[in-house]
Each structure stands twice: as structure tokens, then as C-alpha cells.
Structure 1
Amino acid sequence: MADGRDGRKAAVDPKLLELLACPLTKGPLTWDPERGELVSRVAKLAYPVRDGIPIMLPSEARTISAEDVLPAPPPRLSGPS
């Protein structure tokens, strides 16, 4: 999805992604670069990013199906005990 100005795909700053949460579930969001959306797996919603600005309104979000949900990130490995 282009950001609407120069045809490039929008991106979300990783620091911002750490701070953002789904407004409905308060859970984490995952960046989907192919669609330019922030995905809440728990709520099964994809929030659009327009001109680099996340639109965190449930009324603007797209409902996603189980097939659209990105695979879960790999578990973090803990160090030696």
C-alpha cells in the first residue's frame, strides 16, 4: 500500500511500534509491510497507516480472517540459567 504521496510504501518506526497497542485489546501490534497496516492478532483487526501516521480507530480498521493473520513471531530464547 502506497503512502499516497510518492508511491513508496509507508513504514512505521520500530520505537513507535513498541509503544503502540491495539485500542480494543491493549495488546501488541505487528507491522505488515505488504499492506501497510498494523495488525492486532487478538482483535483480528488491521489498522491502516496513512502518510506514515497510524490510524488507530476501530471504525477505520479492516477485519481480517484467520488466513490474513501474520504468523506468530518466534519465541524468544532465554539465556543460560
Structure 2
Amino acid sequence: MTDPRPEPHHVVDKRALEMLVCPLTKTRLTLSADRSELISVAARLAFPIVKGVPLLSLEEARNVDPDEIRKHSGGAP
């Protein structure tokens, strides 16, 4: 039987996430529902989390469409 929990070194510490900001706008980041990305609502960018490490490089970021941004910003346009 396989253990469904992620390996401890692949889990991002929530306290550390609270200290991280978007490298472009310096605004707070939101953890995606599947915990695989940090979303910058202000910049409309998603930064991947790889093996528990957030990659906060603009080269690694992907653009986020407006509908997805609304989900992360509580419905605000």
C-alpha cells in the first residue's frame, strides 16, 4: 500500500509562504487549490512550486487568465 501523504521535503511551510511576495509587484501570493503554484493576483502570474520550493522567477511564471484570477481574488474583477 502506498502512503498518500507527500514526502515532508515536498511540502511548503505555510509560515514561509506568508513571507513570500510577488517578485514583480511585491504583493502577497495566494496558494493554488492544488498547492502546486503561488498566484500573484496583481501581476496575473502563477509561480510553480517544485519539490516544495517556490520558483519565484519571472521566467518560470505562467500568465493566469482573468477567470482564474477572479477565483483567487474572491470574485473581484
Task: Give yes or no for TM over 0.5.
Answer: yes
Q: Which amino acid aligns with 1:67?
A: D
The size of the alignment, in residue pairs, is 68
Q: Report deviation, 1:35.
A: 5.9
Does residue 1:47 correspond to 2:9, yes or no?
no
Shift of 1:60: 0.5
User: Following the alignment from structure 1 to structure 2, what is the Cα–Cα distance between the partners of residues 57 and 31?
Assistant: 16
Identity of aligned residues (%): 38
CA displacement at 1:12 relative to structure 2: 2.4
- Rounded to whole Å, the distance in 2 between the matches of 1:71 and 1:45 is 11
- RMSD, matched Cα: 2.4
Cα 1:64–1:23 shift into 2, 3 Å: same
Q: Quick one: distance in 2 between partners of 1:50 and 1:39? A: 14
Q: Which string of whole-angstrom CA distances, capped at 9 and with x for unpartnered residues, describes residues 39-73 of structure 1? A: 00000000000000000001110100111123325
Q: Which has the larger radius of gyration?
A: 1
Structure with bigger helix share is: 2
The match for 2:21 is 21
- Say if 1:47 and 1:61, in contact at 8 Å, map to a contact too: yes
